[in-house]
Amino acid sequence: MGDKVLCREGYGSSRVKKNYVSTDDGRLVVVDQSPTGTTFSHFFRSVFLPQGYPESVSQDYLEYQIWDTIQAFASSITGTLAAQAVLKGVGVGDENATVLAATMTWILKDGTGMLGRIVFAWLRGSSLDCNSKRWRLFADILNDLAICIEILAPNFPGIFTPLVCTAGVCKSVVGVAGGATRAALTQHQARRNNMADVSAKDGSQETLVNLAALICNLALIPLVTGKQSLIWFLYIIFTCLHLYANYSAVKCVVMETMNQSRLNLIVKELLDCSHIPSIQHTNRLEPVVFRTRRKLEIILGCSVGKLCTSAKELQTLLMLYKGTPYLLGLNIKKGEICIALSDRATTSDQLQSCYQAEVINYVYENLYKNKTLHSSLAPVVKALENGDVHGALAASLIYTNLTIEAFCQGVVQQKWVLNPVLLNANEWRAKWDIDGVTDKKEY
């Protein structure tokens, strides 16, 4: 009757609760106040979910992980079907097959895959952070293609080795794109500087899924061996499930950082409706299969040589952009807006240059649609209608300087993150006097 509660504690937002009670005889007794069944759920959360879940991860974490679990299970099933086909192709079970031939095929398959990994990382490595959702989906589509080639390969013994080498290259690209984009998504999901924990628990989840798929495969493989029609039926079913789950996974991710696709959608919404869209709305509209469609492609961080071919043209741009740490050129014939950055340009300057480019692209796309544009864009419209490129650049720069501050304040109010910006800038940087006089020592 004289027991007194000295302290109460809980484990994060879970229902695990404990009371520390002082008894009459001076002992400290721990009383578990957790509801029935909480111990098991707490153990499960501790093993497979990041510490502090759900506060320690992004709001889209659970939905993404559910779809990721489904796609991993489907991929494991089709991967086993492909592995069986490759083993059959290299001669497992064939008395006439030689160990040397099988070994050479495997070495060539691995070797071409290594080369493919290096080449892809060289060509596309810089864009994986900027378009992580699109490359994530691309990796899974390519993985299904590689599995399809491996299942087909034993039916063409004359070109079996080239086919499995092609599949090896595809899978190596999948490894680079999938691994890199997984890291980018993990960084997005980790909200307590707990990227390693989120990544480790993601690995535990995937291992559990693969274990479940392994058990299914042990029962499945004896049933499908030698039955090509059944193998193809299962491949089609699980591939469709795999692709749908992957598409749903990347679509549910809500990224707060700014890339060119999301900036394009924000500027269009702003100029169409005079308001900045929410993060959720923009991510829902962001294309994850194809690139953003524009009439004018935006190339950020390009060489000055792409903007102009004569000294007079360069001098005109330097005077036009006096006081601005970038040079923006418009080439309507090629359908390009090229942006050269000064070595003094910051991420804010990159955002401003792309904002100006998006304004020009917006006006150009709506030029002949009989669409009424805001009166503040009238000088840009008039210049483009008359084919006056420099006039359009000057008018769009004036509009940008007048509106960029309000634009940045608006996106921050909508919880967008402006540092870093993922605008996929190339590494060319130029030196010139920002006040408009060319630096004669270093250019």
From the list 348, 343, 322, the residue with the least C-alpha distance to 429 is: 343
Helical ranges in 190-227 per DSSP H = 195-224
**Position 98 in a domain:** yes
Any idea what the CATH number is for the domain that residue 178 is in? 1.20.1250.20
Taking residues 122-133, report their average pLDDT.
83
The dihedrals phi and psi of 196, each to the nearest 5 degrees, come to -65, -40
Q: Mark whether 386 and 312 lie in a shared domain.
A: yes
pLDDT higher than 60, residue 440 = no
Q: Mark whether 246 and 339 lie in a shared domain.
A: no
pLDDT higher than 90, residue 372 = no
State which H helix or E strand residue 323 sits in: none
DSSP 190: B
What pLDDT shows up at residue 95?
58
What pLDDT shows up at residue 96?
59
Q: Mark whether 208 and 279 lie in a shared domain.
A: no
Per the structure, the complete domain to which residue 31 belongs is given by 4-48
Cα–Cα distance for residue pair 166/150, rounded to 1 Å:
9
Q: Mark whether 73 and 176 lie in a shared domain.
A: yes
What pLDDT shows up at residue 92?
63
| Range in 2-16, 60-74, 237-251 the model is least confident about | 2-16
pLDDT higher than 60, residue 391 = yes
What pLDDT shows up at residue 93?
53
Where is the domain boundary, 253, 272, 293? 253
What pLDDT shows up at residue 299?
93
- The pLDDT mean for the chain works out to 87
**Position 178 in a domain:** yes
Q: Mark whether 316 and 171 lie in a shared domain.
A: no
What pLDDT shows up at residue 408?
93
Question: Which residues are within 8 A (CB) of 341 and not within 5 positions of it... i.e. 6 or more apart?
Answer: 300, 301, 325, 326, 349, 350, 353, 425, 428, 429, 430
What pLDDT shows up at residue 398?
94
**Position 68 in a domain:** yes
The pair of three-digit structure tokens given for residue 218, joined into one six-digit string: 């042990």
Where is the domain boundary, 222, 253, 284? 253
pLDDT higher than 50, residue 210 = yes
Question: Which residues are within 8 A (CB) of 275 and not within 5 positions of it... i.e. 6 or more apart?
Answer: 269
From the list 109, 103, 12, 105, the residue with the least C-alpha distance to 55 is: 12
Q: Mark whether 132 and 221 lie in a shared domain.
A: yes
| Range in 12-16, 174-178, 373-377 the model is least confident about | 12-16
Res. 30 pLDDT band, cuts 50 70 90: confident
Domain count of the chain? 3
Q: What percent of the chain has pLDDT over 70?
A: 93
What pLDDT shows up at residue 113?
84
**Position 114 in a domain:** yes
Res. 435 pLDDT band, cuts 50 70 90: low
Q: Mark whether 314 and 418 lie in a shared domain.
A: yes
Cα–Cα distance for residue pair 230/219, rounded to 1 Å:
14
Where is the domain boundary, 224, 253, 282? 253
Q: Mark whether 278 and 383 lie in a shared domain.
A: yes
**Position 310 in a domain:** yes
**Position 405 in a domain:** yes
Where would I find the beta strands (DSSP E) of 138-256? none
What pLDDT shows up at residue 21?
82
- Answer for the pair 377, 359: CB distance below 8 angstroms, yes or no: yes
The dihedrals phi and psi of 50, each to the nearest 5 degrees, come to -60, 150
Res. 22 pLDDT band, cuts 50 70 90: confident
State which H helix or E strand residue 29 sits in: strand 28-32
What pLDDT shows up at residue 91?
64
Q: Mark whether 248 and 311 lie in a shared domain.
A: no
pLDDT higher than 60, residue 442 = no
pTM of the model: 0.84
**Position 441 in a domain:** no
The greatest distance separating any two alpha carbons of the chain, rounded to the nearest whole angstrom, comes to 95
Q: Mark whether 278 and 129 lie in a shared domain.
A: no
Buried b (16+ CB within 10 A) or exposed e, 67-87: bbbbbbbbbbbbbbbbebbbe
The pair of three-digit structure tokens given for residue 341, joined into one six-digit string: 């950055």
Give CA angle at 351 (122, 437), nearest 5°.
95
Q: What digits encode the pLDDT tens for the residues 217-266?
A: 888 888 888 888 899 999 999 999 999 999 999 999 999 999 999 999 99
Q: Mark whether 119 and 222 lie in a shared domain.
A: yes
| Range in 79-93, 122-136, 143-157, 269-283 the model is least confident about | 79-93
Side-chain-side CA neighbours of 258 within 13 Å: the count stands at 27
Q: What digits encode the pLDDT tens for the residues 394-430?
A: 999 999 999 999 999 999 999 999 988 889 899 899 9
162 DSSP β-pair partners: none
**Position 435 in a domain:** no
Angle between helix axes 160-189 and 61-90 (nearest 10 degrees) is 160
- Answer for the pair 7, 30: CB distance below 8 angstroms, yes or no: no
Sign of CA dihedral 80, 84, 85, 90: positive
- Answer for the pair 185, 64: CB distance below 8 angstroms, yes or no: yes
Q: Mark whether 16 and 141 lie in a shared domain.
A: no
The dihedrals phi and psi of 261, each to the nearest 5 degrees, come to -65, -45
Sign of CA dihedral 175, 180, 181, 185: positive
The pair of three-digit structure tokens given for residue 133, joined into one six-digit string: 């959702």
Cα–Cα distance for residue pair 33/7, rounded to 1 Å:
12
Burial of residue 363 (CB within 10 Å: 0-12, 13-18, 19+) is buried
| Cis, peptide link before residue 277, omega less than 30° from 0 | no
